Structure 1
Amino acid sequence: MNQPFHSLGVAPNAWTVNHAIADITRPQKTPQPAILSTETKTLRLDLAKATIIVIDMQNDFCHPDGWLSHIGVDVTPARQPIAPLQNLLPQLRGAGVPVIWLNWGNRPDLLNISAGLHHVYNPTGEGVGLGHPLPTNGAKVLMAGSWAAAVVEELQQLPEDILVDKYRMSGFWDTPLDSILRNLGKTTLFFAGVNADQCVMTTLCDANFLGYDCILVKDCTATTSPDYCWLATLYNVKQCFGFVTDSQAILTALNQNLQRHD
């Protein structure tokens, strides 16, 4: 009598097993080829191997009552990705491209945060730093589960989306992001969020160093830093670390892919 097989793991990094056999061939997902225009080259990519990582679109960085605004930073630029992301993310989900929300979300005890990281957010030691309550509403700065660390209400998070907390500017340090991407079989990463020259750029660089293909989505990314930081980020991504495109080019690629399958 044949024994039924059961699935273990997350596709495509999954086995099927029964009492006698472990099938470790890991059947691949059906390819979804697409053509994407970027600022330097036309890319042929596989949407089945793609995901978008949305970085730090959180109240502390993007809301007028958040931490950045509290220390005197104009958060208007950080809000610019909201509208294009509202348009792009549903289309990516519809094409089977997962959405990963990569946010600062510190432990309540801050045991994995060094003095140097504290200094970035509280350089005098007398201000409102990591884990401190915001004067406006008492939410704790970048604390997992707090209003301060939550994604801005204008961007909808769905149950099928993937949430990863980070504790450094790079989302690959001390997090499960790399393991999640490898289990899902994702090799092409779209990057969006804030700040382009800090958390987005360092995460993108580490992704490149780890062998991922990196694509910065220009209109879904922004920074509150001076304009030269933005220009240097675009230059370095195109020169060294990947490609730069925009949401309209991605939507065009998705529509062309959909038409081929109709």
Structure 2
Amino acid sequence: MSTPAPVHDHPISGMTERPRVEEITEYGNAASFWVEYPSGLLDLTRSVHAEPPHKQASEPPLQGGQIDIPVDGGRTIRVDATKTALIVIDMQNFFLHPDIRVHPTGLACVDPTLNVLPALRSQGAKILWVNWGLTDHELKTIPPALVRGFRKRGGGGFGSEMSGNWGRLLMRGAANADLYGPLQTEYLKGSEAGTDVWIHKNRMSGLWGYQTALDLYLKEKGITTLLFGGVNADQCVLGTVVDAYFRGYDVVLIKDATATSSPEGALENVVYNAGGSYGFVTDTARIVKAVESMK
């Protein structure tokens, strides 16, 4: 006969496996809170506090601007689209273009990303393209570990002139720092429509440091829920996900829009912890279907 695990074993893990709550449960504080219902719904909109079970037997009806998105673990998250942003990280030529590197799993994320954009835009969600984009001043302050990490096979590293017409490595405005192929075109279209914003970063995490461009934008727009995709899953995506989690944003990883060039197991680890600790995991098909069901 096996011994049951202690009740507090792995207290912040396994959230996708845990059973549904038996009564309406609120997490957080008066200003920032989630409400979970026995039906499996988690309301992230911060719009309706939990009422005692004898006053409220089920979740409130869906309001205008809200979307119910199925996620792993048999749950559904309710988000306010106007307070939601898709964060697409480093889908740049330097990381994806076949003339620069071989990244088939990253390229496989392009179509799912393109497919989900119209659905999110149609509901008022913002699309934030968060990318490496360095200035000459920033080259003087990057720590040695990062500098060394980008000097591979004798390359010059950040700011060095790349062969061909790619420009300086990951510098703002350089061709290698542009979004890959159709993503650049899609960004320009969204930028003209006012739905898409380009945000530069100078570390693996887009939220590293005090008052980053990304954090300031999110605070200014009142955005609380972040959908994540991009490359590489276990590096820049993970760094930004973890910092978002620490800062109190709602974290949702879109697994078919996220990839890495690291060995097997790296992506699985990120997906496991995204759903088991940091927040939730879904895919583009479920987001698109959730939006279509509202029409």
Work out whether the TM-score is over 0.5. Answer: yes
User: Residue 179 of structure 1 corresponds to which residue in structure 2?
Assistant: 216
Cα deviation code 1:153-196 (max 9, x no counterpart): 21111222111100111001242111110111110100011001
Alpha carbons of structure 1 residues 136 and 64: separation in structure 2 relative to 1, 3 Å? farther
1:1-262 → structure 2 map (5 Å cutoff):
32-40=65-73, 41-66=75-100, 69=101, 74-109=102-137, 110-122=139-151, 126-155=154-183, 156-157=186-187, 158-159=190-191, 160=194, 161-174=196-209, 175-257=212-294, 259=295
SS at match of 1:227: coil
Identity of aligned residues (%): 39
Provide structure 1 residue ranges, at least 5 long, that are not aligned to the other structure: 1-27
**2:110, 2:156 → 1: CA distance?**
26
Asked if the contact 1:34–1:256 (Cα under 8 Å) also holds between the matched residues in 2, the reply is no
Alpha carbons of structure 1 residues 75 and 253: separation in structure 2 relative to 1, 3 Å? same
**2:126, 2:197 → 1: CA distance?**
7
* 2:149 maps to amino acid: V
Alpha carbons of structure 1 residues 153 and 212: separation in structure 2 relative to 1, 3 Å? same
SS at match of 1:208: helix
User: Residue 20 of structure 1 corresponds to which residue in structure 2?
Assistant: none
**2:89, 2:83 → 1: CA distance?**
19
**2:293, 2:136 → 1: CA distance?**
46
Give the CA deviation at 1:137.
2.8
Give the CA deviation at 1:94.
1.7
Cα deviation code 1:205-245 (max 9, x no counterpart): 10010000000011111111112101111111111101110
Asked if the contact 1:31–1:47 (Cα under 8 Å) also holds between the matched residues in 2, the reply is no
Asked if the contact 2:70–2:286 (Cα under 8 Å) also holds between the matched residues in 1, the reply is yes
Cα deviation code 1:98-153 (max 9, x no counterpart): 100000001134123122210110157x4231111222335211111100111112
Asked if the contact 2:166–2:175 (Cα under 8 Å) also holds between the matched residues in 1, the reply is no
Alpha carbons of structure 1 residues 138 and 231: separation in structure 2 relative to 1, 3 Å? closer
Asked if the contact 1:51–1:186 (Cα under 8 Å) also holds between the matched residues in 2, the reply is yes
* 2:84 maps to amino acid: A
Give the CA deviation at 1:56.
0.2
SS at match of 1:215: strand
**1:138, 1:62 → 2: CA distance?**
13
**1:120, 1:162 → 2: CA distance?**
28
Asked if the contact 1:33–1:45 (Cα under 8 Å) also holds between the matched residues in 2, the reply is yes
**2:237, 2:123 → 1: CA distance?**
24
* 2:68 maps to amino acid: I
Provide structure 2 residue ranges, at least 5 long, that are not aligned to the other structure: 1-46, 48-62
SS at match of 2:176: coil
**1:53, 1:250 → 2: CA distance?**
14
Deviates more, 1:233-242 or 1:136-145: 136-145
Asked if the contact 1:65–1:136 (Cα under 8 Å) also holds between the matched residues in 2, the reply is no
RMSD of the TM alignment (CA)? 1.7
